[in-house]
Amino acid sequence: MAKTRSAYFCQSCGYESAKWLGKCPACQQWNTFVEEVLERGNAKVPTWRSEGGSRVLSKPSKVTDIESIEERRMPTSDAELDRVLGGGLVAGSMVLIGGEPGIGKSTLMLQIALNMRHRKVLYVSGEESEQQIKMRAERIRNKDGADCYILTETATQNIFKQLETLEPDVVVIDSIQTLHSAHIDSTPGSISQVRECTAELLRFAKETGVPVILIGHITKDGSIAGPKILEHMVDTVLQFEGDRHHVYRILRSIKNRFGATSELGIYEMQGSGLREISNPSEILLSQREEELSGIAIASTLEGARPMLIETQALVSVSAYGTPQRSATGFDTRRMNMLLAVLEKRCGFRLSIKDVFLNIAGGIKVEDPAIDLAVVVAAISSHEDIPVSGKNCFAAEVGLSGEIRAVSRIEQRIAEADKLGFERIFISRYNLKGVDTARFKLRIEAIGKIEEAFTILFG
């Protein structure tokens, strides 16, 4: 008679131990180990085609003897998702998408399942009933009449029976934390259950060539819940980001075995679902009838995608003894550094002023190329002199007040030129190798902050 085998797992990082530990040696967290049964005695539960024929043994092959086969891509009818995936779903691939609760993961996946034309899609939900999914489908207002099937089930063995009967082209699992396998005697969502369910779905995807999309929960730290090995097992890991109080969502690729991780997709949350945004610059830039002080347009890169954003600054007299410093969508410490550069190198007395900075649209930017736009917006608000909306900025500011070069300057200039800007301020060190004759807008190459202030404010 086989014995029951168990182990202890850290619920924070997934570290496995043969005995209980008070402190995890991997993530240094206390009291996170719980016991989970790995294998029950005399447990014979069918897996995905576990009783099939004998397995063919693999043999080593020379690299030169292996034939190069182009991956077959399956378009998802969503241009933004196809861009992030590298052209569409690859046959037999497994995609994991994570994000905060209520960010729109289920809405995005159901929308894609409904809009995939001439494809049989099985949407497996372990969190909602069929009636709830039907209500969301009616709200999305799908008109394509796709061949989409809904299954509300959490047991993997029952899911595999329906997969063999239906034979779908794409499978969506919402979510992986709700599934449970009869091989593991632990609660759904535990580390061992997530690992086992993912392994079974991975075997199904590789043997049948059917793409599987998993929706995953995240922890309070923002990482995907479950063991870290979950991200290693799948082929692609996508992160759905955004603020629930704003309408814009960003789909970012963290890992992609079949494409680049520098692409990202942008969506706008509406009452009828998620709308793809092919040109985010036109939406992130507000349409103003008059010029206002404290506003500067920056050219930034999100992944490999250039877009123009509006940087807003407000500098006012401090009503209290200690000046306030606040930044939304931008690193507050970097803002304080730029304000110190303005005071030390340019003579502006900002240490006694309240400074508030905001990136319009509710997005978060870490690109140092918006430094110049930040300092220009701050001085524009401080002097109450508006900056023309036809000006754009793309440069990093150093501690000595120098204007430093940034990457992919030609893409930034081309995006500003396409949107009708008349002038862009860049570092003079970025001019090397740039064909300025093919752009209509005027390129101002500067070396110090003072040069930009002289041109803009006299």
Using alpha carbons, select from 75, 91, 76 the residue that is nearest to residue 210: 91
The pLDDT tens digits of the residues spanning 291-318 come to 889 999 999 988 778 889 999 999 998 8
What confidence score (pLDDT) does residue 142 get?
Answer: 61
CA distance 372 to 368: 9
Is the CA virtual torsion 386, 390, 396, 398 positive or negative? negative
pLDDT in tens, 246-292: 788 889 899 999 888 878 888 988 888 899 888 888 777 766 677 88
pLDDT-derived band at 436 (thresholds 50, 70, 90) equals confident
Burial of 370 (C-beta count, 10 Å sphere; 0-12/13-18/19+): buried
The answer, yes or no, to whether residue 457 has pLDDT greater than 80, is yes
Is residue 242 within 8 Å of residue 222, measured between CB atoms? no
Residue 51 confidence (pLDDT) above 70 = no
The CA distance from 440 to 422, in Å, is 8
DSSP secondary structure, 409-435, as one string: HHHHHHHHHHTT-SEEEEEGGG-TT--
**What pLDDT shows up at residue 287?**
65
Say yes or no to pLDDT of 216 above 50. Answer: yes
Q: Report pLDDT for 10.
A: 83
Q: Label residue 12 left, alpha or beta by phi (over 0 means left) and psi (-120 to 50 means alpha).
A: alpha
Lowest mean pLDDT among 202-216, 221-235, 320-334, 362-376: 221-235
Determine the pLDDT at residue 77. Answer: 86
The predicted pLDDT at position 179 comes to 92
Answer whether residue 168 shows pLDDT above 60.
yes
SS3 content of the chain, % helix, strand, coil (to 5): 30, 30, 45
Element (H, E) at 305: strand 305-317
The pLDDT of 197-212, averaged and rounded, is: 93
Mean pLDDT of 196-212: 92
Looking at residue 214, its pLDDT comes to 95
Q: pLDDT at residue 218 above 90?
A: no
> Distances in Å between the alpha carbon of 65 and those of 56, 59, 61, 70, 167?
20, 13, 7, 16, 34
What is the pLDDT at residue 15? 83
Using a pLDDT cut of 70, give the percent of the chain over it. Answer: 91
What was the pLDDT predicted at 303? 76
Is the pLDDT score of 195 beyond 80? yes
Tokens of 27: 């993530």
Confidence of residue 52 (pLDDT cuts 50, 70, 90): very low
Residue 430 pLDDT greater than 60, yes or no: yes
Q: What's the rounded mean pLDDT across residues 20-47? A: 74
What pLDDT, on the 0 to 100 scale, is given for residue 145?
Answer: 56
pTM (predicted TM-score): 0.77
33 CA to centre of own chain: 30
Confidence of residue 1 (pLDDT cuts 50, 70, 90): very low
- Find where tokens 């046959």 sit: 91
206-245 residues labelled b (16+ CB within 10 A) or e (exposed): eebebbbbbbbbbeeeeebbbbeebbeebbbbbbbbbbee
pLDDT at 328 over 80: yes
- For 244, residues 6+ apart whose C-beta sits below 8 A from its C-beta are 100, 102, 103
- Yes or no: say if 401 and 348 are a contact pair by the CB < 8 Å rule: no
Q: What is the pLDDT of residue 146?
A: 66
Give the 3-state secondary structure of 258-295: CCCCCCEEEEEEECCEEEECCCHHHHHCCCCCCCCCCE
Residues 6+ apart with CB under 8 A from 365: 298, 300, 309, 329, 330, 359
Give the C-alpha distances (Å, rounded to integers) separating 423 from 99, 126, 279, 311. Answer: 38, 54, 20, 17
Residue 50: is its pLDDT beyond 60?
no
Query: Averaging pLDDT over each range in 212-221, 224-233, 443-452, which range is the top one?
Result: 443-452
Residue 151 has what pLDDT? 94
In the predicted model, what is the mean pLDDT of the chain? 86
pLDDT band at 53 (very low <50, low <70, confident <90, very high): very low
List b or e across 144-168, with b for residues whose CB sees 16 or more CB atoms inside 10 angstroms.
Answer: eebbbebbbebebbebbeebeeeeb
Instruction: Give the model's pLDDT for residue 183.
Output: 79
pLDDT reading at 353 higher than 80:
yes
CA distance 217 to 154: 16
pLDDT tens for 6-27 read: 788 887 777 888 889 999 998 8
CA–CA distance from 308 to each of 247, 320, 360, 374, 419 (Å)? 17, 35, 11, 13, 9
Laid out side by side, the sheet with 5-10 consists of: 16-17, 5-10, 33-39
Instruction: Give residue-wise pLDDT tens across range 92-127.
Output: 999 999 988 888 899 999 999 998 888 899 999 998
Our measurement of the distance from residue 401's CA atom to the centroid of its chain's CA atoms, rounded to an integer in Å, reads 33
Distance, CA of 80 to CA of 277 (rounded, Å): 8
